């Protein structure tokens, strides 16, 4: 592992953060070097510090410790993420024999120079008690391979007398005291190794401390490679996993089954529902090989490689055979067994630390010969858990090959999992209305489609947007890029049954399944019946009706596999009730689509899915995402009425009862209402047209 220190980058940080002093600027620089390497820390793990000085309100120079704030991410840390704490009151605490967690927090927060600063790391005292200017703490994977063993033999063989080795000690005051005492006994040591936990390095400069981390991680990596011959047998493909293409196809069928089994029943103000989850799957060759190995199930039932990970992934992972991952009954049975085992463990080990149990459901599932998938109500949480699980499987496989993987005991892990100071790292999240839901929207590149996509994203759903027009779809995804990975897209001609199956599978692979299906794709053709081109008529029916049927057909398979209900919202039109001259093809196709929705409402109720329709009218869109329908027919309408574009919009606004402009977001909000399942409604038609008496549903 080479050092990534670069003199030019270091100087750039010193210039950029000149107002914070050179020491803190370089601390930020090396913290980011550490945080950007997933083999050292993942997603907020690890911590760093620097001892420097600040002026207090009286203008006096005060010695301070700038230490990572709890929950901060080293990869992106700013000076504000390393809050300054007065050093003197921290050092006084070392004279104590005991110090409660809350007392420790009170003292540390009371020593902050800025009251609005984030909580300093739970390991602040450890950084303070060590005498070095810079201190780095990592959960480096190669080091954990050495420390998660029955004894210290491999640590000693790799590092010799350059390190002090400590047993597992709960973070906080006890660990801080133990580390300081260990260094006092061996001041010549160049690092401290905490078994089952990680590595501490230190130095007089930022570079020295950082490069010591790199040195010891490199030594650990080379030692492990010498001992196991490079690739751990569990990761080498024996027994053979599924071929890569088959893994993708398998996940497309299996993820909805697993996702459905992990949806927890949830009481809401509107009745019984589910806490749905979204997934992030990984199917690399080494992960698939691990999942095919005979030791995989046993290793999945062991605790994490480092205790911090329990917050993101729980202690154990769910292992599923391929048969169980495809069978709703078998999968639910495995999930129930996992939950029962967790509950028993809580009663034995966790009850003493907390009055109530956290969710007993697994977060990570390892699927035989396929790989892993992580599940959480928020996509970002699922992706973080998957990243950690990916590292964990590789680390466990290498530790298994080196000797015997021996993590924390259940009792030790329960103390960490229910430790209030550890749980504070996870910020409280107020769930969005559609948190955990996955929506599939067709015709997403049109004005109405874009409005639906936007409203669903704002409501917290993950959205898969599809359209036949690649350029317009790209413009829509760019428009909503701020929503990040919660928006995925795929191009498809939905009149092709194979394409429908493919694009819905892409949705499943992106997020895990689907809960809200919005068949919205449509085209128009204006012609009197006497002059109708049969081919044009057939094309409109194919896009507006047949494609709707194909989407409903394929979505039914996924919704049934999940068995957690859901919603379908068909985009009909006011023309289904109030057709106009010259619009026979469009009106007939929308009547047919509405009938499909009504029949689907009767058939899909069997697996708890509600099917409703929206009748929208006069939705023009905007310059960025205009209505394709109005682009096609608007010119004729303007000519017939002697109006310009603004006049045409005013005409349709004024003809409604409410004299209002119907916006794409209005249609989107109607979809969100149906997706929120606030009322037990199916088979309904909701007009979004400003009020047109002739189009009132009858």
Residues recognised as catalytic = 586
Identify the helix (H) or strand (E) that includes residue 146: helix 141-147
Query: For residues 493 and 544, is the Cβ–Cβ distance under 8 A?
Result: no
Number of Cα atoms under 13 Å in the Cβ half of residue 41:
28
Query: For residues 461 and 434, is the Cβ–Cβ distance under 8 A?
Result: yes
How far from chain centre, in Å, is Cα 398? 27
In DSSP notation, 52-85 reads: EEEE-TTS-EEEEEEEPBTT--GGG--GGGS-EE
Query: For residues 528 and 451, is the Cβ–Cβ distance under 8 A?
Result: no
Query: For residues 68 and 47, is the Cβ–Cβ distance under 8 A?
Result: yes
Query: For residues 680 and 601, is the Cβ–Cβ distance under 8 A?
Result: no
Number of Cα atoms under 13 Å in the Cβ half of residue 302:
23
Q: Which residues contact 95 (CB under 8 A, 6 or more apart)?
A: none
> What is the crossing angle of helices 584-604 and 547-562, to 10°?
20
Query: For residues 561 and 257, is the Cβ–Cβ distance under 8 A?
Result: yes
CA distance 271 to 302: 38
Query: For residues 466 and 491, is the Cβ–Cβ distance under 8 A?
Result: yes
Dihedral sign, Cα of residue 216, residue 217, residue 223, residue 226: negative
User: What share of residues in the chain are helix, strand, coil (percent, to 5)?
Assistant: 50, 15, 35
Residue 462, both tokens: 């993950």
Identify the helix (H) or strand (E) that includes residue 29: helix 22-35
How far from chain centre, in Å, is Cα 694? 46
Per DSSP, 532 falls in state -
SS3 631: helix
CA distance 454 to 509: 21
């Amino acid at each position: 592992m080479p050092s990534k220190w670069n003199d030019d980058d270091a100087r750039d940080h010193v210039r950029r953060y000149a107002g914070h002093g050179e020491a803190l600027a370089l601390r930020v620089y090396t913290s980011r070097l550490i945080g950007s390497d997933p083999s050292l820390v993942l997603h907020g793990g690890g911590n760093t510090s620097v001892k420097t000085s600040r002026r207090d309100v009286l203008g006096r120079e005060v010695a301070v410790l700038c230490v990572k704030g709890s929950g901060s991410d080293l990869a992106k840390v700013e000076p504000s993420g390393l809050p300054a704490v007065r050093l003197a009151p921290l050092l006084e605490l070392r004279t104590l024999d005991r110090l409660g967690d809350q007392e420790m927090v009170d003292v540390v927060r009371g020593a902050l120079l800025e009251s609005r600063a984030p909580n300093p790391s739970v390991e602040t005292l450890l950084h303070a008690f060590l005498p070095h200017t810079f201190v780095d703490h990592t959960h480096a994977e190669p080091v954990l391979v050495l420390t998660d063993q029955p004894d210290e033999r491999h640590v000693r063989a790799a590092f010799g007398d350059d390190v002090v080795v400590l047993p597992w000690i709960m973070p906080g005051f006890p660990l801080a005291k133990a580390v300081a005492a260990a260094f006092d006994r061996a001041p010549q040591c160049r690092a401290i190794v905490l078994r089952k936990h990680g590595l501490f390095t230190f130095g007089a400069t930022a570079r020295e401390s950082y490069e010591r981390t790199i040195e010891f991680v490199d030594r650990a990596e080379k030692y492990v490679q010498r001992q196991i011959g490079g690739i751990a047998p569990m990761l080498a493909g024996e027994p053979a996993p599924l071929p890569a293409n088959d893994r993708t196809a398998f996940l497309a069928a299996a993820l909805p089954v697993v996702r459905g089994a992990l949806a927890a029943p949830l009481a809401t103000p509107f009745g019984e529902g589910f806490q749905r989850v979204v997934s992030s799957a990984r199917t690399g060759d080494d992960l698939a090989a691990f999942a095919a190995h005979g030791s995989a199930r046993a290793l999945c039932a062991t605790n994490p490689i480092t205790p911090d990970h329990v917050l993101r992934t729980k202690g154990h992972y769910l292992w599923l055979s391929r048969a169980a991952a495809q069978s709703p009954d078998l999968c639910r049975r495995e999930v129930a067994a996992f939950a029962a085992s967790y509950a028993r463990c809580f009663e034995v080990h966790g009850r003493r630390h907390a009055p109530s149990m956290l969710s007993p459901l697994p977060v990570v599932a390892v699927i035989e010969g396929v790989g892993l998938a992580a599940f959480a109500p928020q996509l970002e949480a699922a992706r973080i858990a998957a990243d950690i699980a990916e590292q964990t499987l590789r680390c466990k496989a290498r530790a298994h090959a080196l000797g015997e993987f021996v993590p924390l005991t259940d009792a030790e892990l329960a103390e960490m999992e229910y430790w209030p100071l550890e749980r504070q790292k996870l910020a409280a999240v107020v769930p969005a209305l559609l948190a955990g839901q996955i929506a599939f929207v067709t015709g997403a590149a049109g004005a109405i489609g874009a409005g639906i996509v936007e409203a669903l994203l704002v409501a917290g759903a993950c959205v898969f947007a599809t359209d036949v027009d690649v350029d317009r779809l790209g413009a829509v995804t760019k428009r909503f890029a701020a929503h990040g990975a919660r928006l995925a897209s795929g191009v498809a001609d939905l009149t092709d049954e194979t394409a429908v199956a493919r694009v819905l599978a892409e949705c499943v692979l992106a997020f895990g399944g689907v809960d809200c299906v919005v068949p919205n794709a449509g085209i128009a053709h204006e012609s009197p019946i006497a002059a109708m081109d049969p081919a044009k008529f057939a094309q409109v029916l194919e896009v507006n009706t047949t494609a709707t049927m194909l989407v409903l057909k394929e979505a039914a398979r996924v919704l049934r596999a999940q068995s957690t209900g859901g919603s379908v919202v068909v985009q009909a039109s006011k023309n289904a009730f109030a057709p106009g001259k010259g619009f026979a093809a469009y009106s007939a196709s929308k009547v047919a689509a509405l009938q499909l929705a009504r029949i689907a409402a009767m058939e899909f109720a069997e697996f708890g899915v509600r099917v409703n329709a929206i009748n929208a009218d006069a939705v023009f869109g905007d310059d960025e995402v205009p209505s394709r329908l109005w682009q096609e027919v608007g010119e004729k309408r303007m000519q017939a009425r002697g109006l310009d574009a603004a006049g045409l919009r005013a005409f349709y606004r004024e003809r409604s009862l409410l004299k209002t402009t119907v916006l794409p977001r209005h249609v989107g909000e109607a979809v969100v209402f149906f997706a929120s399942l606030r009322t037990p409604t199916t088979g309904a038609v909701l007009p979004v047209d400003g009020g047109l008496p002739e189009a009132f549903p009858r």
